[in-house]
Structure 1
């Protein structure tokens, strides 16, 4: 059944609420801000950095995550450290920065409060949550306060998928959370502070303050919020891309194009050797809330750049019915069954296969290679998803339905 909501809810972000209060929470503090173009105010569509500086707050530095403060860099890239010409504030390249580097920056600029405002997309392998953790770890060690200006999880509040297993920590998975965690940044920060920081930093944060969302609940997707979508990265141009990403992001670990270099990354999937059979097989599965259209595309970048690819475009027809993690498994299993050319992206450095890092273990890869069905694979992580739901429960700030 389609979701009954007919008009978008009016959601107020943490940044909107802090600005409406005249930024009183941050007055008198020396601030370091972790943000990018998604850190904006709804009424002006302007940057929180400009708003804070204009309000007379002491912004000592800004830290840009993957893709940079300006959001222009491709996957795995960043923008160089620079000085913002409008405000004169130093903007550091913080992509890949660990806690030690953050701590050095905080000390160098005399930061006493870190402000975090990034729009996450709800997938464990999206790097913003690990920038959050490294900055929190540094703040805890240095005795620096930490403020999260909260934003919605665009794919909702339900937890789905497998846990990260020991031995599979990487830049796309830093701690034991599930593939689609269903948490906001403020909720993740609470979980990290209580569960992770005592071991990582030897202590919890001196102070964690979350400026909560107003009006958001875990059953809402981005289409329900009434907020403007600002791409968190160049390859997530639309809310539909983000909706599918916790599942179709797994194609980064395969030899297929995940649609990078097209107008619909993570909704267009294919390779030169795919044919009409894939779309027909996927349509036959009747996955809830999804349709699959046979298509062809010519990626301008990344895998198969300049080569004609055939495959599918995924069309969400009922976003609230979509289980992106399950979708990813069904896509991979159907390719395995149809095409002997299907394979995993090679790792020339001899490291762990990228698909293992994305899924948090070698279990999915080994099960698919052994011929297991999608249903068997999906059912295999039900218990650990349930365990994570129990683990995260004390740190939820907004109502949830089942899961």
Structure 2
């Protein structure tokens, strides 16, 4: 029996432990950049295993190095561990104890599988011709994200390649999916303040109505995607907040907008930003208002290395993991993901593991009713274990 086969069998033994860890994390969620207790829980898991542990970044991120001193490539594996500001509304017996905070995206599962897998990889480190860096990352959900600061602080130092996984309740449990090249959208956010001159509703001629100007602005923004972006490219522009509360008989002097932009090409990001600025200038001239823009280009487009992704897919298929029923190309995905920052530095692949609950219900990510099939945790562990061990078996 190969080392990989033995490892996969051992992971079967620890499935209940992975689920137990996941449920502990689910009961004790912490929002982005405030995950102190989660950090301490993860740190204490590793502290007696003989690994090199280092806090990295300005938040609560850490890296754990598995290395027997052998020369060779360094492969990184990343899992995120932050939760969301959501009130949980489901029937789970291990609901969040922190009202208003919830693991509604599966990051608890990502962390659980990786902790146990890392421990088991550490047991066989003398059989690995290279080294492994475990990246436990906070703050995936909130810009600027935890990845950026960890990278700046050396999380990818000497790393050759990196892999990550996300559970997906929209996919049947047993399915493992992938996509190459541009795989998840990049993201920008903006805050816009439109300031006019308030006045009495009966005398609009001596005022500059910020609500009218802002309404025109919101409508005009929709022409950017329809008339300035190539129809074969992916882009969305959403105004998520329009704050102009006032009274019946007063012309509003100021309106504040919040917006979200998604794109599948970095060149499209530039086009949209420039067009927003141009429309804002026109608004100032047309309505006699001032427009202040605070524009935040944050998460990049997630790019999966063709070489690394295809290698991972072939490894998974060849291993024929019993719990994996299908391996498929999922195509590009709409949500953004700060794993994308890692792919700007080293070749990366981000895989998807189906986690649809057995009842077939709809429990979407970021929903108060989010639920996932915990069978996916073992599948994630076995999938990543397979890619890791095959990676070191085929070093050039």
Q: Which has the higher strand share?
A: 2
**Normalization by structure 1: what TM-score?**
0.30
